[in-house]
């Protein structure tokens, strides 16, 4: 077989192809030998001649600024790269000025990974720049060149980190590249990268008049695909080191995935629009070798807002190296879960399934900030940015070191492959931090904050509060009162208070957190919005629905603009807003909102996340109140199963879901079953949460109501009394929850049919409850109706005007769930 | 993909001012031809590059609209005129380096500017089409066939090449003939496309 037969083309005989095109002169009629000479001469490399004294060897590349040739130096015969500014109608004097500055700046940079500039000469009015000749390939092609397939992720990252080092070196000397792209980065045979063309660099010095003048023009310099949003917008004054961080992000994206974040074969306008507005795909969605941490690093570098990027290239390089070392990266949302998961993976602790589940819990806790010393968003000066981030990184590394030592210390104790629970690790961390007296206050604050938030995530409120208190105190000492770190500890503390039902304290710390965030952060910042949403939930718990709604709407507005529609924080606030409708008794509306949010919530948080739980739970509660019992019960059973698996039996969430299912049974009329379930959950709630928590009170109310319905008035009355006291203490005298307890007590007293004094007490209670309901609830609310019915029973029909026809008398407590008792303890992600 | 059919649309695609990819392809395709023609007109490399810039600038104005102007004639003539105008424009610029284009050559350019193309241009233009066709062949033919053909281009005797590739001289001849036929087809396609009204 002829091995060349598979070539394309046809066997059609010479000269018979139908066409009118005139090929005379082309030489197709010549004999083979002569015809081949014609082809040879056509393909011959164009003779370039020389420029000035340099003999041109070949053209290497051409760009917006000029053409680069490989050339030979006349005396040394050394091969160099010669860059020539393209003149003509495009070459404004401005371009020329830029070129001359390039020479000055570039020759001041001296780094093994930055191409050396030998000098420049002006030839016939045209400047040329002589540079070190690098025999290498463009970094994107290097990353995808295949001697043995593609480069590994690790190889790519290692070279990338070296590139970052070189760029950082220039930044430290006040030089920003502004035109980083693969054609400006060559990798030689020893896999060493070399950066070319610090040609658009702008000197950061404020008094550089020339630089200021050059950047006044709004014309766009640079390759669009690698240009940052601020460059694309023509905001040259906003261009700083973080524009290079962005370009490096694009380059890393391309090196890892083989494509650009926004493919540049679309037209220019679309590309620029995408750079300004579109979120890039996550690298891991394009290449299965990549994971979420890579995503976090790349996407942080690609943030539209410079303030959300790495503040320095050094920071980017550090994260890449952390990733390579298997350490937590700062770009990843700094949840404790993530951190511990990293640590466990790194140290291969014998964490077994049970503790792995417990680890998940930690993610539900508020992520304190050990790695997330976000930069002051107002800042522009790169140098300042750098020193702040350096300091933050220092703290983060010390926190890292602390927990790392801790986990290493835990290891030998567990040599037998026994489980180490998160609780144990935490307790150990807690006692270790007590022992240390050499920790800097900001480091100890960060560690305590983490420990406290993690305890809170585990439902261990006492240690959570203690550590957060200390963290707060230390953060105040280290940073002053008005600092983001202080605000974050306040917020964590507020979450603990809310779970404990200490609404007054929660309100205070939330308020302070909010006012700090508002002072320190730029308007519309998501931390401000989240703080506002926290206040809103608190307002709702105080039944100030209008304030709650207003705050939530404004928070949702900010979050949507800042983070987008389907971001977790936005969804969390929308879930809270649905509850406003529930609280107002607009159950259909609330149910409709929750149903439509549910898929996005599952998608954004994952099905096992506490937020997904909450959404489902709240929907179930509403369905129950709409008497859609079967559907509601299905949700509850799923919730309980998941909660036991993930949180364990004694977690407030688990208790809450069990209480809710019990109250469903009660509402449906399965009283025996309901009573058994309520007793069990009441005992556990009292033990775990104490008497005074909202959950315990709501269980208490429901149990009392069930008992009342089963003719066990004495016990019911006793429980209701405790409930009234507890509700007054927790919510105040005029809160609907208090009114529910009072109403329940009133009904129970009437039904016990005892003494006249009890009737008088019942009358007083029902009157008070009705008064509260009349201000807080709409006219047709069942609570109002049922309370009137109670009074009517008491007085006889003539004593009440306008009473509706009697309906079947349910226990009013069946519906109390609609009034906040099932309010989840908050927004654990905040 | 058959490069004939994609090539055929370049000149029409480049009319769409939003199609930047087409414009880049256009620049890629023609810049070598422009510089080589300038060099054959004895311009220095640096000046040739300046002229290329000017040419691309006026082509971007002239072509990148949807207006068809049949009076321009064939693209090859239009392009040649544009380049010669640019050469004259460049030499007339006040800050143009002295000696960029010698007077005699300029006179030649001016004399040839009668609507007809000159012989230098015709040669460069044909070479350009050979290069395009060769590129397509290098991209689409089986690599071993291309290697064989390259050795023949280098002047190696057919017998040697056949021995090297452990095949018959007949097979080597067949490769050469196949490529030659395909090149003619390609060049014909390229010209037909270029001759579409602009």
Task: Tell me the per-residue pLDDT of A478-518, one tens digit each, with 9 for 90 and over.
Answer: 888 888 889 989 999 998 888 777 888 898 999 999 999 98
Give the minimum alpha-carbon distance from A367 to chain B in angstroms, rounded to a whole number: 46
- Give the span between the Cα atoms of A375 and A586, in whole angstroms: 43
Task: Count Cβ–Cβ pairs < 8 Å, chain A vs chain B.
Answer: 140
Q: Which of B100, B126, B174 comes nearest A26 by C-beta?
A: B126
Residues of B in contact with A86 (CB under 8 A): 49-50, 53
Q: Flag the least confident range among A157-166, A412-421, A729-738, A794-803.
A: A412-421
- Give the span between the Cα atoms of A222 and A181, in whole angstroms: 9
Q: Would you state the pLDDT for residue A691?
A: 80
B88 touches chain A (CB under 8 A): no
- Give the span between the Cα atoms of A584 and B192, in whole angstroms: 76
**Residue A578: pLDDT over 70:** yes
> In chain A, which among 77-136 make CB contacts under 8 A with chain B?
84, 86-90, 123-126
Residues of B in contact with A26 (CB under 8 A): 126, 129-130, 184, 187
Q: Which has more pLDDT, B75 or A607?
A: B75
Kindly state the DSSP code that residue A384 receives in the 8-state scheme. H
Q: Would you state the pLDDT for residue A75?
A: 75
- What percent helix, strand, coil does chain B show, rounded to 5? 75, 0, 25
Closest CA to A54 of A76, A71, A75: A71
Scanning the structure block, which residue is given the tokens 């920003």?
A: A176
**Residue B99: pLDDT over 80:** no
Closest CA to A472 of A460, A487, A461: A487
- Give the span between the Cα atoms of A305 and A537, in whole angstroms: 30
Query: Do the beta carbons of residue A408 and residue A347 sit within 8 Å?
Result: yes
User: Could you report the per-residue pLDDT of A644-662, keeping only the tens digit for each?
Assistant: 877 778 877 788 888 888 8
Q: How many CA atoms lie within 13 A of A242 on its CB side?
A: 29
Instruction: Tell me if the pTM is above 0.90.
Output: no
Residues of B in contact with A268 (CB under 8 A): 18, 20
> In chain B, which among 128-187 make CB contacts under 8 A with chain A?
128-131, 134, 140-142, 144-145, 148, 152-153, 167, 171, 174-185, 187
Q: Which has more pLDDT, A525 or A200?
A: A525
User: Could you report the per-residue pLDDT of A442-473, keeping only the tens digit for each?
Assistant: 888 888 887 887 777 666 788 889 999 999 99
SS3 A2: coil
Q: What is the mean pLDDT of residues B145-159?
A: 91
- Give the span between the Cα atoms of A596 and A407, in whole angstroms: 43
- Give the span between the Cα atoms of A518 and A531, in whole angstroms: 9
> Measuring CA to CA, how many Å separate A776 from each of A543, A733, A737, A788, B167?
8, 13, 11, 15, 97
Rg (CA), chain B: 20
Q: Among the ranges A72-81, A330-339, A360-369, A576-585, which has the highest mean pLDDT value? A: A576-585
Of the pLDDT bands very low, low, confident and very high (cuts 50, 70, 90), residue A402 is low
Closest CA to A70 of A118, A199, A52, A79: A79
**Residue A538: pLDDT over 60:** yes
Q: Would you state the pLDDT for residue A271?
A: 83
> Measuring CA to CA, how many Å separate A215 from each of A331, A382, A602?
31, 17, 47
Q: Would you state the pLDDT for residue A748?
A: 87
Residues of A in contact with B50 (CB under 8 A): 86-88
Of the pLDDT bands very low, low, confident and very high (cuts 50, 70, 90), residue B155 is confident
Q: Would you state the pLDDT for residue A529?
A: 92
Contact between B177 and A125 using a beta-carbon 8 Å cutoff: no
B6 touches chain A (CB under 8 A): no
Q: Would you state the pLDDT for residue A386?
A: 46
Rg (CA), chain A: 35
Contact between B134 and A12 using a beta-carbon 8 Å cutoff: no
Q: Is ipTM > 0.90 here?
A: no
Q: What is the mean pLDDT of residues A227-240?
A: 81
Query: Do the beta carbons of residue A154 and residue A143 sit within 8 Å?
Result: no
Query: Do the beta carbons of residue A515 and residue A527 sit within 8 Å?
Result: no
Q: Flag the least confident range among A142-146, A169-173, B5-9.
A: B5-9
Kindly report the average pLDDT of chain A as a whole number. Answer: 75
- What are the backbone angles phi and psi of residue A62, rounded to the nearest 5°? -140, 145
DSSP H or E run through A534: helix A526-541
Structure tokens at A690: 């104490």
User: Could you report the per-residue pLDDT of A594-633, keeping only the tens digit for each?
Assistant: 988 988 888 877 776 767 877 888 888 888 888 888 888 9
Phi-psi region of A670 (alpha: psi -120 to 50; beta: other; left: phi over 0): beta
> In chain B, which among 12-41 make CB contacts under 8 A with chain A?
18-21, 32, 35-36, 39
Give the minimum alpha-carbon distance from A217 to chain B in angstroms, rounded to a whole number: 21
- Give the span between the Cα atoms of B110 and A454, in whole angstroms: 84
Q: Among the ranges A306-310, A599-603, B156-160, which has the highest mean pLDDT value? A: B156-160
Q: Would you state the pLDDT for residue A89?
A: 33
Q: C-alpha angle with apex A596: A591 to A602, nearest 5 degrees? A: 110
A43 touches chain B (CB under 8 A): yes
User: Could you report the per-residue pLDDT of A8-67, keeping only the tens digit for each?
Assistant: 333 333 333 444 567 888 888 889 888 998 898 888 776 777 777 788 888 777 665 567
- Give the span between the Cα atoms of A616 and A621, in whole angstroms: 9
Q: Would you state the pLDDT for residue A90?
A: 37
User: Could you report the per-residue pLDDT of A344-391, keeping only the tens digit for each?
Assistant: 444 433 333 223 333 333 322 222 222 222 222 222 333 334 455 556
Query: Do the beta carbons of residue B11 and residue B64 sit within 8 Å?
Result: no
Closest CA to A154 of A305, A326, A283, A376: A326
Query: Do the beta carbons of residue B81 and residue B113 sit within 8 Å?
Result: yes
- Give the span between the Cα atoms of A318 and A305, in whole angstroms: 21
Q: Which of A14, A22, A86 comes nearest B181 by C-beta?
A: A14
Residues of B in contact with A274 (CB under 8 A): none
- Give the span between the Cα atoms of A198 and A190, in whole angstroms: 23
Contacts of the segment A629-638: beta carbons below 8 A, 24+ positions apart: A629/A664, A629/A667, A629/A668, A632/A664, A633/A661, A633/A664, A636/A660, A636/A661, A636/A664, A637/A661
Closest CA to A777 of A806, A811, A818, A807: A818
Q: Would you state the pLDDT for residue A302?
A: 94
Q: Which residues does residue A639 pair with via DSSP β-bridges, in sequence order?
A: none
């Amino acid at each position: 077989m002829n091995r060349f037969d598979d070539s394309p083309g046809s066997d059609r005989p010479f000269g018979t192809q139908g066409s009118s095109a005139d090929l005379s002169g082309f030489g197709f009629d010549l004999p083979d030998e002569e015809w081949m000479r014609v082809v040879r001469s056509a393909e011959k490399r164009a003779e370039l001649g020389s420029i000035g004294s340099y003999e041109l060897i070949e053209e290497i590349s051409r760009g917006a600024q000029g053409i680069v040739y490989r050339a030979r130096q006349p005396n040394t015969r050394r091969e160099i790269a010669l860059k020539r500014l393209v003149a003509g109608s495009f070459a404004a004097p401005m371009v020329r000025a830029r070129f001359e500055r390039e020479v000055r700046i570039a020759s001041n940079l001296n780094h093994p990974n930055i191409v050396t500039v030998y000098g420049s000469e002006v030839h016939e009015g045209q400047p040329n720049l002589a540079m070190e000749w690098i025999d290498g390939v463009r970094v994107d092609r290097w990353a995808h060149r295949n001697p043995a397939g593609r480069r590994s992720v690790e190889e790519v990252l290692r070279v990338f980190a070296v590139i970052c080092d070189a760029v950082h070196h220039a930044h430290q000397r006040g030089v920003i590249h502004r035109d980083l792209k693969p054609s400006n980065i060559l990798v030689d045979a020893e896999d060493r990268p070399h950066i070319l063309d610090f040609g658009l660099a702008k000197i950061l010095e404020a008094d550089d008049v020339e630089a200021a003048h050059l950047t006044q023009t709004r014309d766009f310099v640079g390759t669009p695909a690698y240009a940052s949003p601020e460059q694309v917008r023509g905001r040259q004054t906003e261009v700083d080191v973080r524009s290079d961080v962005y370009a490096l992000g694009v380059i890393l994206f391309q090196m890892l995935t083989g494509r650009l974040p926004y493919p540049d074969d679309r037209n220019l306008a679309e590309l620029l629009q995408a750079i300004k507005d579109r979120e890039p795909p996550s690298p891991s969605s394009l290449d299965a070798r990549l994971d979420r941490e890579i995503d976090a690093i790349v996407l942080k570098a690609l943030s539209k807002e410079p303030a959300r990027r790495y503040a320095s290239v050094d920071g980017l390089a550090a994260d890449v190296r952390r990733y390579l070392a298997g350490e937590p990266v700062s770009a990843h949302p700094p949840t404790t879960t993530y951190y511990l998961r990293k640590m466990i993976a790194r140290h291969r602790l014998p964490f077994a399934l049970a503790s792995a589940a417990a680890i998940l819990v930690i993610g539900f806790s508020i992520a304190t900030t050990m790695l997330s010393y976000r930069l002051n968003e107002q800042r522009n000066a790169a140098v300042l940015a750098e020193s702040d981030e350096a300091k933050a990184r220092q703290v983060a590394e010390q926190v890292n070191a602390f927990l790392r030592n801790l986990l290493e210390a835990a290891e030998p104790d567990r040599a037998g492959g026994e489980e180490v629970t998160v609780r144990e690790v935490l307790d150990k961390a807690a006692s270790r931090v007590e022992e240390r007296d050499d920790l800097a206050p900001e480091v100890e604050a960060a560690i305590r904050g983490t420990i406290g938030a993690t305890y809170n995530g585990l439902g261990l409120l006492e240690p959570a509060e203690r550590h957060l208190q200390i963290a707060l105190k230390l953060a105040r000492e280290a940073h002053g009162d008005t600092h983001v770190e202080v605000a974050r500890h306040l917020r964590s503390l507020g979450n603990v208070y809310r779970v404990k039902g200490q609404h007054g304290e929660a309100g205070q710390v939330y308020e302070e957190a909010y006012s700090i965030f508002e002072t320190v952060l730029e308007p519309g910042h998501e931390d401000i919005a989240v703080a506002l949403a926290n206040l809103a939930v608190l307002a709702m718990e105080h039944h100030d629905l209008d304030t709650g709604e207003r705050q939530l709407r404004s928070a949702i507005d900010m979050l949507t603009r800042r983070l987008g529609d389907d971001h977790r924080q936005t969804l969390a606030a929308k879930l809270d807003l649905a509850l406003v409708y529930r609280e107002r008794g607009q159950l259909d509306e609330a149910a409709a909102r929750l149903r439509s949010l549910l898929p996005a919530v599952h998608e954004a948080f994952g099905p096992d996340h506490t937020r997904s739980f909450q959404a489902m739970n709240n929907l179930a509660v509403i369905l129950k109140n709409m008497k859609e019992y079967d559907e509601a019960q299905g949700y509850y059973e799923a919730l309980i199963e998941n909660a036991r698996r993930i949180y364990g039996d004694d977690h407030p969430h688990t208790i809450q879901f069990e209480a809710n299912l019990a109250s469903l049974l009660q509402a449906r009329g399965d009283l025996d079953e309901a009573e058994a379930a309520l007793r069990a959950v009441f005992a556990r709630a009292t033990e775990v949460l104490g008497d005074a928590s909202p959950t315990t009170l709501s269980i208490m109310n429901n149990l009392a109501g069930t008992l009342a319905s089963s003719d066990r008035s004495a016990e019911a009355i006793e429980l209701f009394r405790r409930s009234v006291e507890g509700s007054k203490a927790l919510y105040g005298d005029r809160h609907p929850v208090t009114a529910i307890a009072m109403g329940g007590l009133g009904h129970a007293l009437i039904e016990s049919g005892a003494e006249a004094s009890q009737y008088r007490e019942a009358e007083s209670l029902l009157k008070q409850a009705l008064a509260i309901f009349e201000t807080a609830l709409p006219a047709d609310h069942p609570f109002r109706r049922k309370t009137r019915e109670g009074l009517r029973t008491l007085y006889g029909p003539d004593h009440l005007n306008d009473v509706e026809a009697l309906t079947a008398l349910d226990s009013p407590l069946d519906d109390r769930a609609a009034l906040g008792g099932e309010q989840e303890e908050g927004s654990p992600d905040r | 993909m058959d490069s004939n059919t994609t090539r055929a649309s370049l000149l029409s695609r480049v009319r769409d001012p939003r199609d930047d990819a087409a414009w880049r392809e256009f620049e890629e395709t023609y810049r070598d031809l422009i510089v080589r023609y300038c060099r054959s007109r004895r311009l220095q490399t640096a000046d040739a590059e300046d002229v290329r810039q000017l040419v691309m600038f006026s082509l971007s104005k002239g072509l990148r609209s949807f207006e068809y102007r049949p009076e321009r004639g064939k693209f090859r003539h239009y392009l040649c005129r544009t380049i010669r105008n640019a050469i004259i424009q460049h030499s007339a610029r006040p800050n143009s380096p002295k000696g960029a284009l010698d007077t005699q050559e300029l006179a030649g350019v001016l004399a040839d500017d009668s609507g007809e193309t000159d012989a230098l241009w015709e040669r460069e233009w044909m070479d350009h089409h050979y290069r395009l066709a060769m590129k397509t062949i290098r991209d689409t033919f089986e690599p071993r066939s291309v290697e064989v053909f390259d050795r023949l281009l280098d002047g190696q005797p057919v017998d040697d090449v056949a021995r090297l590739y452990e095949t018959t001289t007949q097979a080597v001849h067949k490769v050469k003939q196949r490529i030659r036929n395909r090149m003619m087809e390609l060049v014909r396609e390229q010209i037909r496309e270029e001759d579409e009204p602009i």
